[in-house]
């Protein structure tokens, strides 16, 4: 199971970095940010105090520096090449304009991949206003490129908390603007609108929510009867789940460890805590490069799967003295405790692939008897009095966000899913969805998959009429019952 | 997707062999039957005309030959050693007698593994009467051992159709016997009771159904409003699905091909039609021994999975001239046609892991221009006029049932699931289940998994109070939402 | 490291079954023998006392029953279809007759695959006389088919020791027959000739030896100065080694365990003793079907390979209490001792893939406190006083010979290698080979590989002139230095 | 097969970057150099013109800046932690001083790992003088640390060609210094001494050569009768070969591609040209993360291995239009031609893991119709007139040296091998080695392996006396015949 912080959305600076879905947050890695955003941060003046216009004369946006647009445009163009699904959707549905008259409030990470989504929504007919869902994750150049292209974007890297809410507010509350649909990542736009603009909220057609945190908040709203519009939980759609977790982590765990530590994998003993999709991906990837993998689990079904997949299922304590690498992927807290770390051997690498930053009890390492030595960005040696060194990655935050970069291909899946969810909610007949939280209809999920098959030169077989009848299926799908597990 | 014959239960001799769930049918392979059952079939006299008593003096049973009981008992004892889950359940729940007063009608394959289930139900307090769900699959010695032990068993190998219904009738309709629960495999006991003894049917507490066919019939009953009692679909429980399909087929496809053809797998090109659980298992197993595997799919999501798992997704026609082995696992019909087989190269092996016997169009091979040559049991060479030979296994029936034998371990999972479903239905408070078809509660599924973990010396981690609270979970489970896909 | 009995060739009945190379011995499994040979063994009269003629009128042979030739011929025809390499050689070199005037004494296992070799040698121009290298391994029908086809074959199943030497003698010593080359498997023909017909021995052009035992004896002869002709060690040629050991065992270990025990592999803990080619194959195959594999090694280089390949390298004692399956592949003796077996858990399977029958100390189990129970052919339960059962396969003999059948494809590699070695030795200019033991020239090894590539539809790339010059290679090979390890 | 430039050692600036063995060159990647070395290169004054002393007062060295020694020392300390083998050797043999009186001339890449080797040789009793084997690969800080520690080091980053030879000369020709052994990487020290100081050359005890190039030159010397001392080819020792090639490339190909392109591997079609150790490693690693791998080969034996390992063996032209990634690992030139690249699809990634820079015909891409666009360091888009983009990595140089960093662990193996070869040559009795090129004695190879087993917590099994006798082995090894292939 993999989750994020379920606690409230209070935006204290110290815990400001709240990871949501992996894909949307992928570009939020420190490395990418520190590269592209460094210069602009020297700016002293707040963007809110600047007067900027794009070349079209509009000033309905707020970004760090509109002049950076050319570089941002190039980033967007590169991303377009690596996002076959969302681009195919743009092409296929461009004439239909299925989002004509849609007025979208977007609140997500803002990076090149998001820009491809935004421009696709626009190509499908939508008007949009967009803010960032994270004060740190905006790529300023991309925001500039979007503003230059005429989009009302309100986001920059290193916003203050006040800036953060101001930006979202600017998206909701504008002249001649009654938004009718929300694309949210974390639930902040939804909740601001619900609280501050309840009348406006009642008029929207629905919410598309991307993150575990946001979905959790929606279910809570629903339980307490406050959810007055339909919401689509795209976080749990099949393609997104498998790609963001299983397939993506299979590669990003390798990448993260290699980039940060140059460790040789062959023959290393690794324990993966948790055998959900993320844990399955980590275990499979690491075994593929020669590691010996142990698994811990609380759920007997997942434990049985791990056994049948050829991993020893143990308690962490049983192997903690022997393993070379410890990876958490449980979604829980304090999975790796100080007591565990006291027993690790020198050189053991500890990192987190699961919950934002709770799985490893990093605070327990901030004691006077231990010395921290920063080896390089995202890599700390924590040194015991006897000289033992634990290698802690990303201070216990999500290592794949901090130490590797996700491919645009994964984001393409997520973006296409979001776009289809918007289309579905916007065009659904009045009674199809009530004021509840829904999973994406299977047919949409299948369509997202279809959009990405050409990347693999994969050729679908089509049912004959006879076969379709025999199976009781429509030739165009959906092909499986809802409880099918894939 | 894997399924069985959805057509009605008409018992024509020619299509008599109806496979249901893999596990229950596992011992139904021709090989095992032909070994253990051969001698007794020479018997001229119908068991129904024989007068037999067990050593306790009872004659409330009907088997081929009560004197074979000792050999059957030994088979049961061996099976007990290989069925840790069901034996653990027998031990753990033996004192509670959770099935006290349960009166079970069983209608399943009858073999050593079933006997372990029957005797477990008895140990848990149930009274049972049992018939076979297939006219060919009874192991006579095991039936004799059960009869000798005092169980009212009505079954023998090679029943006539009339025998078949007579046996089931004997289980339902007996003196001083009002059955209150049904354990069915295919739905024949359910349907006989419903039609012939509707009053009796209304009094039962529920039905546990094991097979795809039976589940399908239950859903149809439910739709048409004729299902007046709750029914439990154990066919789609997690542990059963994964074990019967993914994990079991990963091994049995290798075993089936090797035993029947002695083919060397390394470097062979294989196409697996269908990438459901069975197809996934076949592909994984065969790649593990060095095959190059192609996949066909109709469902874009499964196709995307196959791609990400590293298989080329093609249409059958694209590779049919090159592949060495063709395996069907779609649940559909005429997946491999005569036209395909005309294009195969000489020596190509064709077999079916999916639907009972429809996937390969075997009838299309029974033309005058082709010669059939039986090479050994379950292996035919079909010879084209130019000398080309196709190697057809099990005449297109399920090759793993015909050419390999499933381990008792798999059956242990299924049996434990059935027993728990019976306990749940029998003990559920009146309003928990309505007259509908239910999946096994997740907690039961988890319990079945738990029962089998000791086999792997797998050690579950337990949540701390703090962690459980943080996750919003009960420490004893269930651990996942219902839509979780594992 | 894998080896066979290095002790002398004394043919005591009790230890009569001496396995040599896996491939040549493959058909020597008890199962296949017991099937095809059972009826003919009832014959009371020794073949030596029978008067038999083939349909051509010749009586220069001695087999069990010439009338069985038709069935043997069909077996040979089936084998031909599965031996692409040797058949390609027969076709390609048929016109050249590179073995014209060769007079070959053959002493090998006699089965359908050998028959394909014999008839290929004949097609290439050779005259042959053939005996069996093992008193039990002859397939009588095949011997009959060869005799009917005019070959001077002297072999039957269940020869006495005296018969054995008489048969070889008949091959060496015949009218108008000065043999000029030997194809040996175990060295018995070589040694009989050397001792009994030393003058004749000096006139031969060379010896091709197939087995570890025979090669060992040749090196001893060479050391002691008694080897007066060149000998070719085909046992250590690349293609043969890799196929007979690594690739073949990767599959046959799975097959052997499955056929004999129906064990489910997923999640089972296995220890493979020895990480030579056989051990590597076993470990890879079993991991491919979901086992957790441990390795023992005495050689640090192989141990390092095992580590890097992702296996824990342990001493047997460290895991003996936990493992489900113990496999020996060391070539050594007493690798698994009574002390080890005393510690195993109940249900542990023990089998040998390495040395003929020495690796497991089976004798230590024949004590009064232990009970043996034969479960089925090749499967014994050894029962400890406390009820613990160890499952011993093939009484410690080579399990893949006893419990599975090797594919003809593997034998095709070996046969082609033998044939090419004969051609090389027979046609070599006088000074190319001295009286020593040689490995097959790399070019021949490469040619054997080439013959088998079409089976895999594998397409070789050809060097351009420029590339060949750059690499300093001949475009036709050889492509590697002699010390290359593949 | 993997090789390096066999052409003469002429040091033209343009082709200055000559990769030798992977491990020694590993730190020679552009990335690491560009990070650590950037500042110091701004220095205007040549080190030869500077006057520098270490804190001990010595000036018998020449480095960029002695003041950088502290940072270099820290790098060395980190490397020590990751080089268990060479550190174990230092500890075990420290008391014996097996290199007492050895006077070593070293000419290798100079980086932290080399420093660990140098200080180990010193700890074992040797005196050393050291120069760089590559004008670009010196880590200035490390050189400073060595100089500060009293070693006579002559090397800096970005030497001129004249500097290069001057530095080597300074190692050979010094007061009171008659070197008696050479540790060379590429053969430049050997050849300079042979030509310029022939009398001195005759007095040395031997040469240890690390690189393919250097070994090639030694064999040429030997052929032409000019090699008057024994030389040890450590390039072809078992442990080094397997680690530098198979195991290391299995990981570094993944790392290189990921760091430079962020490509998602799952489902990608890859062709690996060449199935030697490097190709085997690449294929295995990429399959492990979900790629579909094709292989090209010129050698039928390797092709057969690839087939049995489950890869389609094709000619490049057959799949060039479909593949997503092309990797060369042949050791040859012009393996990928312009004609091939004209056929690739847009987005295809092309990189080289084999020969220094000849495998991809990069020059053919420098035509006026194609546009090059530098995307980031080591990544170029080559753009066709129709917009097609090929992604070329490291301009065709070794991608793992340019785009990833090798772990110190691999270098540890190589360093330990070099040290043992020095010990062997230095201490061998006079007649053990003649003036020829030798492979490392197997026992030494085994010892290197032994030194690295503790890293994996791998436990060797020891032969009993009885077993050793039975196998004809010494309990301490060597354990295999020389022709054993591992």
Nearest CA in chain D to A260: D405
Q: Is D375 within 8 Å of chain C by CB?
A: no
Q: A residues 270-289 near C, CB within 8 Å?
A: 287
Residues C347 and C382 in one domain: yes
Residues A233 and A295 in one domain: no
In a domain, B478, yes or no: no
- Of residues D39 and A241, the one with the higher pLDDT is A241
Select from A290, A309, A311 the Cβ nearest to the Cβ of C308: A290
Tokens 């080890």 locate to C340
In a domain, C432, yes or no: no
Please report which confidence band the pLDDT of residue A38 belongs to, taking 50, 70 and 90 as the band edges. very low
CA distances from A478 to A474, A482, B132, B219, C259 (A): 7, 9, 36, 19, 41
Q: Please answer yes or no on whether C461 and D306 come within 8 Å at the CB atom.
A: no
- β D103-108/D127-132 pair status: parallel
The predicted pLDDT at position C483 comes to 84
3-state secondary structure chain C: CCCCCCCCCCCCHHHCCCCCCHHHHHHHCHHHHHHHCCHHHHCCCCHHHCCCCCCCCCCCCECCCHHHHHHHHHHHHHHHHCCHHHHHHHHHCCCCCCCCCCEEEEEECCCHHHHHHHHHHHHCCCEEEEEECCCCCCCHHHHHHHHHCCCEEECCCCCCHHHHHHHHHHHHCCCCCCCCEEEECCCHHHHHHHHHCHHHHHCCCCEEECCHHHHHHHHHHHHCCCCCCCEEECCCCHHHHHHHHHHHHHHHHHHHHHHHHCCCCCCCEEEEECCCHHHHHHHHHHHHCCCEEEEECCCHHHHHHHHHCCCEECCHHHHCCCCCEEEECCCCCCCECHHHHHHCCCCCEEEECCCCCCCECHHHHCCCCCEEEEEECCEEEEECCCCCEEEEEHHHCEHHHHHCCCCHHHHHHHHHHHHHHHHHHHHCCCCCCCCCEEECCHHHHHHHHHHHHHHHCCCCCCCCHHHHHHHCCCCCCCCCCCCCCC
Nearest CA in chain A to B7: A470
- Identify the domain boundary among A403, A435, A470: A403
Nearest CA in chain D to A242: D266
Q: D residues 95-154 near B, CB within 8 Å?
A: none
- Is the preceding omega at residue C28 within 30 degrees of 0, hence cis? no
Q: Please answer yes or no on whether A289 and D251 come within 8 Å at the CB atom.
A: yes
The predicted pLDDT at position B31 comes to 34
Q: C residues 287-306 near A, CB within 8 Å?
A: 287, 290-292
State how far residue D313 is from chain C, nearest Cα, in angstroms.
Answer: 5
The predicted pLDDT at position B43 comes to 63
Q: Is-contact A191 A9, C-beta < 8 A?
A: yes
Rounded distance between C-alpha atoms, residue C184 and residue B199, angstroms: 80
Residues A355 and A367 in one domain: yes
CA distances from C192 to A235, C176, D369 (A): 78, 19, 76
| Both tokens assigned to C485 | 């390890």
In a domain, D259, yes or no: yes
For residue D397, the number of C-alpha atoms closer than 13 Å in the C-beta half-sphere is: 20
pLDDT at C54 over 70: yes
Closest by CA to C182, choosing from C158, C211, C152, C204, is C204
Residue partners of D75: CB distance under 8 A and separation at least 6: D112, D115, D139, D141, D142, D145
Q: Write out chain D residues lying below 8 Å of B284, CB-based.
A: none
Q: Please answer yes or no on whether C453 and D331 come within 8 Å at the CB atom.
A: no
Residues D224 and D281 in one domain: no
CATH number at residue D158: 3.40.50.1480
Residues B305 and B162 in one domain: no
What are the φ/ψ torsions at residue C127 (nearest 5 degrees)? -95, 145
Residues D222 and D301 in one domain: no
Q: C residues 333-352 near A, CB within 8 Å?
A: none
3-state secondary structure A220-272: HHHHCCCCCCCEEEHHHCHHHHHHHHHHHHHHHHHHHHHHHHCCCCCCCEEEE
Q: Is-contact A328 A273, C-beta < 8 A?
A: yes
Query: ipTM value of the model?
Result: 0.90
- Identify the domain boundary among C337, C369, C403: C403
Quote the crossing angle between the two packed helices B112-123 and B408-427, to the nearest 10°: 30
For residue C186, the number of C-alpha atoms closer than 13 Å in the C-beta half-sphere is: 28
Q: Please answer yes or no on whether D458 and C306 come within 8 Å at the CB atom.
A: yes
Rounded distance between C-alpha atoms, residue A171 and residue A188, angstroms: 12
pLDDT at C40 over 90: no
Select from B266, B307, B310 the Cβ nearest to the Cβ of D287: B310
The predicted pLDDT at position C43 comes to 63
Select from A313, A315, A449 the Cβ nearest to the Cβ of B301: A449
- β C325-328/C312-313 pair status: unpaired
Question: Best of A113, A288, A325, A390 to disrupt the D interface by mutation (most D CBs within 10 Å)?
Answer: A288
State how far residue D361 is from chain C, nearest Cα, in angstroms.
Answer: 13
CATH number at residue C394: 3.40.50.720
Select from B267, B290, B310 the Cβ nearest to the Cβ of D291: B310
Bridge partners (DSSP) of residue D176 are none
Nearest CA in chain B to A239: B301
> What's the domain count of chain B?
2
Question: Best of A268, A289, A292, A295 to disrupt the C interface by mutation (most C CBs within 10 Å)?
Answer: A292
Rounded distance between C-alpha atoms, residue D274 and residue D284, angstroms: 13
Residues C116 and C228 in one domain: yes
Residues D228 and D255 in one domain: no
3-state secondary structure B353-417: CCCCCCCECHHHHCCCCCEEEEEECCEEEEECCCCCEEEEEHHHCEHHHHHCCCCHHHHHHHHHH
Kindly list the strands in the beta sheet with A127-132, ordered across the sheet, starting from the edge strand earlier in the chain.
Answer: A152-154, A127-132, A103-108, A181-184, A207-209, A231-233, A437-439
For residue A66, the number of C-alpha atoms closer than 13 Å in the C-beta half-sphere is: 22
In a domain, B232, yes or no: yes
Q: What is residue D244's DSSP assignment?
A: I
Dihedral over alpha carbons B452, B453, B454, B459 (to 10 degrees): -160
- Of residues A430 and A101, the one with the higher pLDDT is A101
Find the mean pLDDT for residues C340-367.
95
Bridge partners (DSSP) of residue B438 are B232
Q: Write out chain D residues lying below 8 Å of A407, CB-based.
A: 262-264
Residues A197 and A344 in one domain: no
Q: Write out chain D residues lying below 8 Å of C480, CB-based.
A: 1, 299, 301
For all residues of chain D together, what is the average pLDDT? 90
Rounded distance between C-alpha atoms, residue B84 and residue A26, angstroms: 45
3-state secondary structure of B325: strand
Q: Write out chain B residues lying below 8 Å of C81, CB-based.
A: 347, 389
In a domain, B483, yes or no: no
Find the mean pLDDT for residues A28-36.
33
In a domain, B385, yes or no: yes
The predicted pLDDT at position A307 comes to 98
Q: What is the pLDDT of residues B354-372, one digit of tens each?
A: 977 899 999 999 999 999 9
Q: Write out chain B residues lying below 8 Å of A314, CB-based.
A: 458-459
In a domain, C474, yes or no: no
State how far residue D90 is from chain A, nearest Cα, in angstroms.
Answer: 20
3-state secondary structure of A152: strand
3-state secondary structure of A400: helix
Nearest CA in chain C to B244: C264
- Is the preceding omega at residue C478 within 30 degrees of 0, hence cis? yes
Q: Please answer yes or no on whether A304 and B456 come within 8 Å at the CB atom.
A: yes
Bridge partners (DSSP) of residue C103 are C127
Q: Is C454 within 8 Å of chain B by CB?
A: no
Q: A residues 19-78 near C, CB within 8 Å?
A: none
What are the φ/ψ torsions at residue D54 (nearest 5 degrees)? -85, 175
Q: Please answer yes or no on whether D485 and C460 come within 8 Å at the CB atom.
A: no
Rounded distance between C-alpha atoms, residue D166 and residue B113, angstroms: 83
3-state secondary structure of D210: coil
Residues B258 and B386 in one domain: yes
Rounded distance between C-alpha atoms, residue D423 and residue D125, angstroms: 10
Rounded distance between C-alpha atoms, residue A32 and residue C450, angstroms: 51
Length of chain D: 486
In terms of phi and psi (left: phi > 0; alpha: psi -120 to 50; beta: otherwise), the region of C262 is: left
| Both tokens assigned to D173 | 């020709």
pLDDT (tens place) for every residue of chain D, 486 residues total: 333 332 233 332 222 233 323 333 322 333 333 333 344 445 679 999 999 999 999 999 999 999 999 999 999 998 998 899 999 999 988 789 999 999 999 999 999 999 999 999 999 999 999 999 999 889 999 999 999 999 999 999 999 999 999 999 999 999 999 999 999 999 999 999 999 999 999 999 999 999 988 999 999 999 999 999 999 999 999 988 888 889 999 999 999 999 999 999 999 999 999 999 999 999 999 999 999 999 999 999 999 999 999 999 999 999 999 999 999 999 999 999 999 999 999 999 999 999 778 999 999 999 999 999 998 889 999 999 999 999 999 999 999 988 887 778 889 999 999 999 999 999 999 899 999 999 999 999 999 999 999 999 999 999 999 999 999 999 999 999 888 999
Q: What is the pLDDT of residues A340-392, one digit of tens each?
A: 999 999 999 999 999 778 999 999 999 999 999 998 889 999 999 999 999 99
pLDDT at B37 over 90: no
pLDDT at B30 over 80: no
Select from A292, A308, A312 the Cβ nearest to the Cβ of C310: A292
Sign of CA dihedral C481, C485, D2, D8: negative
Q: What is residue B479's DSSP assignment?
A: -
Rounded distance between C-alpha atoms, residue D47 and residue D44, angstroms: 9
Please report which confidence band the pLDDT of residue C243 belongs to, taking 50, 70 and 90 as the band edges. confident
Q: Please answer yes or no on whether D254 and A258 come within 8 Å at the CB atom.
A: yes
In a domain, A158, yes or no: yes
Residues C48 and C160 in one domain: yes
Q: A residues 423-442 near B, CB within 8 Å?
A: 439
State how far residue B114 is from chain A, nearest Cα, in angstroms.
Answer: 23
- Identify the domain boundary among B388, B403, B418: B403
Residues A235 and A323 in one domain: no
- Of residues D217 and B39, the one with the higher pLDDT is D217
Please report which confidence band the pLDDT of residue B392 belongs to, taking 50, 70 and 90 as the band edges. very high
Q: Is-contact D304 C460, C-beta < 8 A?
A: no
Rounded distance between C-alpha atoms, residue B52 and residue B50, angstroms: 6
Tokens 């062959």 locate to A266
Question: Best of D461, D463, D471, D472 to disrupt the C interface by mutation (most C CBs within 10 Å)?
Answer: D461
Q: Is D269 within 8 Å of chain A by CB?
A: yes
- Is the preceding omega at residue C302 within 30 degrees of 0, hence cis? no
Segments forming the whole domain that contains residue A64: 22-240+407-427
């Amino acid at each position: 199971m993999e989750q994020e912080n379920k606690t409230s959305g209070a935006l204290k600076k110290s815990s400001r970095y709240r990871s949501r879905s992996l894909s949307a947050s992928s570009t939020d890695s420190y490395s990418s940010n520190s590269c592209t955003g460094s210069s602009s941060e020297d700016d002293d003046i707040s963007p809110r105090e600047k007067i900027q216009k794009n070349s079209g004369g509009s000033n309905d946006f707020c970004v760090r520096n509109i002049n950076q647009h050319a570089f941002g445009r190039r980033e967007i163009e590169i991303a377009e090449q690596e996002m076959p699904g969302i681009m195919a959707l743009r092409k296929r549905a461009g004439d239909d304009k299925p989002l004509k008259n849609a007025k979208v409030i977007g609140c997500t990470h803002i990076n090149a991949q998001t820009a491809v989504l935004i421009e696709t929504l626009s190509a499908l007919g939508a008007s949009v206003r967009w803010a960032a869902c994270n004060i740190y994750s905006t790529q300023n150049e991309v925001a500039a490129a979007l503003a230059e292209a005429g989009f009302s974007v309100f986001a920059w890297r290193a916003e203050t908390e006040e800036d953060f809410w101001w930006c979202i507010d600017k998206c909701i509350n504008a002249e001649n603007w009654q938004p009718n649909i929300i694309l949210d990542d974390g639930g902040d736009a939804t909740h601001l609108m619900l609280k501050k603009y309840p009348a406006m909220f009642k008029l929207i057609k629905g919410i598309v929510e991307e993150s575990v945190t946001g979905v959790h908040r929606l279910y809570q709203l629903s339980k307490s009867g406050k959810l007055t519009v339909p919401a689509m939980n795209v976080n749990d759609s099949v393609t997104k789940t498998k790609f963001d977790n299983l397939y993506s982590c299979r590669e990003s765990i390798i990448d993260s460890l290699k980039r940060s530590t140059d460790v040789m994998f062959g023959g290393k003993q690794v324990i993966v805590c948790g055998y959900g999709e993320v844990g399955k991906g980590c275990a499979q990837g690491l075994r593929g490069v020669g590691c010996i993998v142990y698994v811990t689990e609380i759920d007997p079904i997942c434990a049985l799967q791990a056994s049948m997949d050829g991993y020893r299922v143990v308690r962490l304590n049983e192997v903690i003295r022997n393993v070379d690498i410890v990876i958490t992927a449980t979604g829980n807290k304090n999975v790796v405790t100080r007591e565990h770390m006291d027993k690790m051997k020198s050189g053991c690498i500890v990192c987190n692939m699961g919950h934002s930053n709770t799985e490893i009890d990093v605070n327990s390492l901030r004691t006077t008897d231990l010395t921290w030595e920063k080896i390089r960005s995202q890599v700390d040696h924590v040194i015991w009095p006897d000289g033992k060194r634990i290698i802690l990655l990303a201070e216990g935050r999500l290592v794949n966000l901090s130490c590797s970069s996700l491919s645009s291909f994964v984001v393409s899946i997520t973006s296409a899913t979001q776009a289809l969810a918007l289309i579905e909610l916007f065009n659904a007949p009045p009674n199809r969805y009530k004021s509840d939280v829904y999973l994406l209809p299977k047919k949409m999920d299948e369509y997202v998959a279809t959009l990405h098959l050409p990347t693999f030169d994969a050729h679908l077989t089509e049912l004959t009429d006879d076969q379709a009848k025999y199976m009781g299926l429509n030739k165009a799908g959906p092909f499986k019952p809802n409880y099918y597990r894939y």
